[in-house]
Amino acid sequence: MYAFAITARKVFALFYVSLSMLNEDAKNAKAEFKTQLMQNLSTIYDIRRDDQVLRACLNDGAIQQKAFDDLRKNYPLRREWSAFGAGLS
């Protein structure tokens, strides 16, 4: 029985260490994904440009309908994230 208790402790210790390593790997993978996303997101969608052109459609807080219609008609093509070969699984 004593030998079993030592073995159980060793198994638990190995499991705990393995779990800690998995958590660290998951944290590293998440950080890497976030870095890649931030680096490539502006290629897919430049929010600053969008903000500028949308603000240009305002005049004293009111939307200039013609400017907004022109913006919609001439809006640049924007691909989805999956079009760039990035899987989010």
The pLDDT profile of the chain, 89 residues, written as one tens digit per residue, is 444 445 566 666 666 666 666 677 777 888 888 787 777 776 777 888 888 998 999 988 898 999 999 988 998 877 776 766 655 54
Q: Would you say residue 12 lies in a domain? A: yes
* 22 in the same domain as 37: yes
Euclidean distance between CA atoms 68 and 10, whole angstroms: 67
Q: How far apart are CA 8 and CA 41, in angstroms?
A: 48
Q: Please report whether residue 69 resides in a domain.
A: yes
Residue 86 lies in a domain: no
Looking at residue 16, its pLDDT comes to 66
Tokens of residue 79, six digits: 């691909």
pLDDT of residue 7: 59
SS3 content of the chain, % helix, strand, coil (to 5): 75, 5, 20
Residue 65 belongs to some domain of the structure: yes
Gap between the Cα atoms of 55 and 79, Å rounded:
23
At residue 76, the pLDDT reads 82
How many domains does one find in the chain?
2
Examine residue 81 and state whether it is found in any structural domain, yes or no: no
Global pTM value: 0.46
Instruction: Quote the domain boundaries for residue 19.
Output: 1-44
Return the pLDDT at 65: 92
